[in-house]
Amino acid sequence: MLKIDTCLLKRSLTGPEDECGDAGVIRVTDDQCFLALMDVLGHGKKAHEVAEIGERYLEQNHGSDLLDMMNGLHACLKGTRGAVASLCRLNLLNREMEFVGVGNITARLYGSSPVTFVSRDGVLGYRIPSPKMQRAKVSPGDILILNSDGIKERFDPIFYPDLLKGPARKIAADLMDRLGKDSDDASCIVLRCGL
Protein backbone atom coordinates (compact mmCIF):
# COMPACT_ATOMS: atom_id res chain seq x y z
CA MET A 1 0.00 0.00 0.00
CA LEU A 2 1.21 3.51 -0.88
CA LYS A 3 2.26 5.60 2.12
CA ILE A 4 1.43 9.30 2.03
CA ASP A 5 2.19 12.54 3.85
CA THR A 6 -0.28 15.44 3.54
CA CYS A 7 -0.58 19.04 4.64
CA LEU A 8 -3.18 21.81 4.24
CA LEU A 9 -2.19 25.43 4.87
CA LYS A 10 -4.23 28.58 4.39
CA ARG A 11 -3.75 32.27 5.10
CA SER A 12 -6.19 35.17 4.95
CA LEU A 13 -5.30 38.37 3.17
CA THR A 14 -6.28 40.41 6.23
CA GLY A 15 -4.66 38.16 8.83
CA PRO A 16 -7.45 36.72 11.01
CA GLU A 17 -8.34 33.09 10.28
CA ASP A 18 -12.07 33.88 10.38
CA GLU A 19 -11.60 36.16 7.36
CA CYS A 20 -10.14 33.52 5.03
CA GLY A 21 -12.31 32.63 2.05
CA ASP A 22 -10.28 29.53 1.21
CA ALA A 23 -11.13 26.11 2.64
CA GLY A 24 -9.68 22.63 2.38
CA VAL A 25 -10.45 19.09 3.45
CA ILE A 26 -8.14 16.08 3.77
CA ARG A 27 -9.64 12.71 4.74
CA VAL A 28 -7.57 9.52 4.82
CA THR A 29 -9.20 6.12 5.24
CA ASP A 30 -7.64 2.66 5.14
CA ASP A 31 -7.25 2.61 1.37
CA GLN A 32 -8.06 6.11 0.09
CA CYS A 33 -7.09 9.75 0.49
CA PHE A 34 -9.61 12.49 -0.37
CA LEU A 35 -8.39 16.05 -0.94
CA ALA A 36 -10.44 19.17 -1.67
CA LEU A 37 -9.43 22.79 -2.00
CA MET A 38 -11.98 25.59 -2.44
CA ASP A 39 -11.56 29.33 -2.99
CA VAL A 40 -14.61 31.55 -2.43
CA LEU A 41 -14.83 34.68 -4.57
CA GLY A 42 -13.47 37.65 -2.64
CA HIS A 43 -12.13 37.60 0.90
CA GLY A 44 -13.08 38.70 4.41
CA LYS A 45 -15.77 37.51 6.83
CA LYS A 46 -18.49 37.05 4.19
CA ALA A 47 -16.20 34.88 2.06
CA HIS A 48 -15.24 32.90 5.18
CA GLU A 49 -18.92 32.18 5.91
CA VAL A 50 -19.37 30.72 2.42
CA ALA A 51 -16.11 28.76 2.78
CA GLU A 52 -17.46 27.17 5.98
CA ILE A 53 -20.66 26.10 4.18
CA GLY A 54 -18.63 24.45 1.42
CA GLU A 55 -16.20 22.86 3.86
CA ARG A 56 -19.05 21.29 5.86
CA TYR A 57 -20.57 19.90 2.68
CA LEU A 58 -17.24 18.38 1.59
CA GLU A 59 -16.59 16.84 5.01
CA GLN A 60 -20.05 15.25 5.06
CA ASN A 61 -19.77 13.90 1.51
CA HIS A 62 -16.06 13.03 1.15
CA GLY A 63 -16.84 9.40 0.37
CA SER A 64 -19.14 10.23 -2.57
CA ASP A 65 -18.35 9.98 -6.27
CA LEU A 66 -16.31 13.08 -7.23
CA LEU A 67 -18.61 14.14 -10.08
CA ASP A 68 -21.66 13.85 -7.82
CA MET A 69 -19.82 15.72 -5.08
CA MET A 70 -18.89 18.61 -7.39
CA ASN A 71 -22.48 18.91 -8.61
CA GLY A 72 -23.68 18.76 -5.01
CA LEU A 73 -21.23 21.48 -3.97
CA HIS A 74 -22.52 23.62 -6.84
CA ALA A 75 -26.10 23.18 -5.58
CA CYS A 76 -25.00 23.81 -1.98
CA LEU A 77 -23.42 27.16 -2.92
CA LYS A 78 -26.36 28.53 -4.97
CA GLY A 79 -27.34 31.96 -3.72
CA THR A 80 -23.85 32.66 -2.32
CA ARG A 81 -21.03 34.71 -3.86
CA GLY A 82 -19.73 31.45 -5.43
CA ALA A 83 -16.45 29.57 -5.38
CA VAL A 84 -14.01 27.47 -7.36
CA ALA A 85 -12.84 24.04 -6.23
CA SER A 86 -10.74 20.99 -7.01
CA LEU A 87 -11.49 17.50 -5.69
CA CYS A 88 -9.06 14.56 -5.75
CA ARG A 89 -9.18 10.99 -4.56
CA LEU A 90 -6.13 8.73 -4.44
CA ASN A 91 -6.61 4.98 -4.19
CA LEU A 92 -3.71 3.89 -2.00
CA LEU A 93 -3.88 0.29 -3.26
CA ASN A 94 -3.82 0.71 -7.05
CA ARG A 95 -2.24 4.21 -6.97
CA GLU A 96 -4.88 5.71 -9.26
CA MET A 97 -5.80 9.35 -8.71
CA GLU A 98 -9.12 10.86 -9.78
CA PHE A 99 -9.54 14.60 -10.23
CA VAL A 100 -12.46 16.95 -10.87
CA GLY A 101 -12.07 20.73 -10.93
CA VAL A 102 -14.11 23.85 -11.62
CA GLY A 103 -12.37 27.21 -11.79
CA ASN A 104 -8.81 28.32 -11.18
CA ILE A 105 -7.47 26.03 -8.46
CA THR A 106 -4.14 24.80 -9.83
CA ALA A 107 -3.54 21.05 -9.55
CA ARG A 108 -0.22 19.54 -10.58
CA LEU A 109 1.45 16.20 -10.03
CA TYR A 110 5.24 16.35 -9.97
CA GLY A 111 7.41 13.26 -10.30
CA SER A 112 7.98 10.36 -12.65
CA SER A 113 5.05 11.20 -14.97
CA PRO A 114 4.14 14.87 -14.41
CA VAL A 115 0.50 15.87 -14.93
CA THR A 116 -1.24 19.23 -14.91
CA PHE A 117 -4.92 18.60 -14.25
CA VAL A 118 -7.27 20.85 -16.22
CA SER A 119 -10.30 22.32 -14.47
CA ARG A 120 -13.48 23.33 -16.29
CA ASP A 121 -14.30 27.04 -16.42
CA GLY A 122 -17.12 28.18 -14.18
CA VAL A 123 -18.14 29.37 -10.74
CA LEU A 124 -19.78 26.98 -8.30
CA GLY A 125 -23.12 28.36 -7.17
CA TYR A 126 -23.65 30.21 -10.46
CA ARG A 127 -23.00 28.31 -13.64
CA ILE A 128 -20.77 25.36 -14.36
CA PRO A 129 -20.39 23.03 -17.33
CA SER A 130 -20.71 19.33 -16.72
CA PRO A 131 -17.67 18.41 -14.59
CA LYS A 132 -15.17 15.99 -16.15
CA MET A 133 -13.22 13.27 -14.41
CA GLN A 134 -9.50 12.97 -15.08
CA ARG A 135 -7.26 10.13 -13.93
CA ALA A 136 -3.55 9.63 -13.42
CA LYS A 137 -1.29 6.99 -11.94
CA VAL A 138 1.01 8.04 -9.13
CA SER A 139 4.31 6.53 -8.08
CA PRO A 140 6.33 6.59 -4.88
CA GLY A 141 8.12 9.93 -4.66
CA ASP A 142 5.43 11.85 -6.58
CA ILE A 143 4.09 15.11 -5.13
CA LEU A 144 0.61 16.54 -5.78
CA ILE A 145 0.09 20.25 -5.17
CA LEU A 146 -3.30 21.95 -5.16
CA ASN A 147 -3.19 25.72 -4.72
CA SER A 148 -5.55 28.67 -4.89
CA ASP A 149 -4.79 31.74 -6.97
CA GLY A 150 -3.35 33.39 -3.87
CA ILE A 151 -0.19 31.46 -4.80
CA LYS A 152 1.57 31.99 -8.12
CA GLU A 153 0.01 29.41 -10.40
CA ARG A 154 3.03 29.00 -12.66
CA PHE A 155 6.43 28.24 -11.26
CA ASP A 156 9.25 26.12 -12.54
CA PRO A 157 10.87 23.85 -9.94
CA ILE A 158 14.18 24.38 -11.76
CA PHE A 159 14.21 27.92 -10.37
CA TYR A 160 13.22 26.69 -6.88
CA PRO A 161 15.43 23.61 -6.47
CA ASP A 162 14.59 23.05 -2.77
CA LEU A 163 10.86 23.75 -3.07
CA LEU A 164 9.79 20.13 -3.57
CA LYS A 165 12.11 18.63 -0.95
CA GLY A 166 11.23 17.49 2.55
CA PRO A 167 7.93 16.57 4.19
CA ALA A 168 4.55 17.87 2.97
CA ARG A 169 4.38 20.52 5.72
CA LYS A 170 7.71 22.04 4.67
CA ILE A 171 6.74 22.09 1.00
CA ALA A 172 3.39 23.75 1.81
CA ALA A 173 5.02 26.36 4.06
CA ASP A 174 7.65 27.13 1.42
CA LEU A 175 4.95 27.55 -1.24
CA MET A 176 3.05 30.00 0.97
CA ASP A 177 6.17 31.93 2.02
CA ARG A 178 7.97 32.10 -1.31
CA LEU A 179 5.14 32.15 -3.86
CA GLY A 180 2.18 33.57 -1.91
CA LYS A 181 0.66 36.78 -3.23
CA ASP A 182 -0.04 39.83 -1.07
CA SER A 183 -3.34 40.55 -2.82
CA ASP A 184 -5.57 37.58 -1.91
CA ASP A 185 -6.24 34.76 0.53
CA ALA A 186 -3.89 31.85 -0.14
CA SER A 187 -4.14 28.11 0.39
CA CYS A 188 -2.48 24.90 -0.70
CA ILE A 189 -2.64 21.18 -0.13
CA VAL A 190 0.47 19.07 -0.59
CA LEU A 191 0.35 15.28 -0.88
CA ARG A 192 3.71 13.51 -0.93
CA CYS A 193 3.75 9.83 -1.88
CA GLY A 194 6.17 7.78 0.19
CA LEU A 195 9.24 6.16 -1.27
pLDDT digits (tens, 9 = 90+) for 126-135: 999 999 999 9
Q: Is the pLDDT of residue 154 over 90?
A: no
Q: Is the pLDDT of residue 161 over 90?
A: no
The mean pLDDT of 165-186, rounded to a whole number, is 93
The mean pLDDT of 115-126, rounded to a whole number, is 95
Q: What is the spatial distance between Cα 131 and Cα 18, in angstroms, rounded to a whole number? A: 30
What count of residues does the chain have? 195
pLDDT digits (tens, 9 = 90+) for 61-111: 999 999 999 999 999 999 999 999 999 999 999 999 999 999 999 999 999
Nearest to 5 by CA among 152, 168, 160, 183: 168
Q: Given pLDDT bands bounded at 50, 70 and 90, which one contains residue 170?
A: very high
**pTM, two decimal places:** 0.95
Q: What is the spatial distance between Cα 114 and Cα 110, in angstroms, rounded to a whole number? A: 5
Could you tell me the CA-to-CA distances from 76 to 9, 29, 40, 71, 194 in Å, in that order?
A: 24, 25, 13, 9, 35
Determine the pLDDT at residue 160: 75
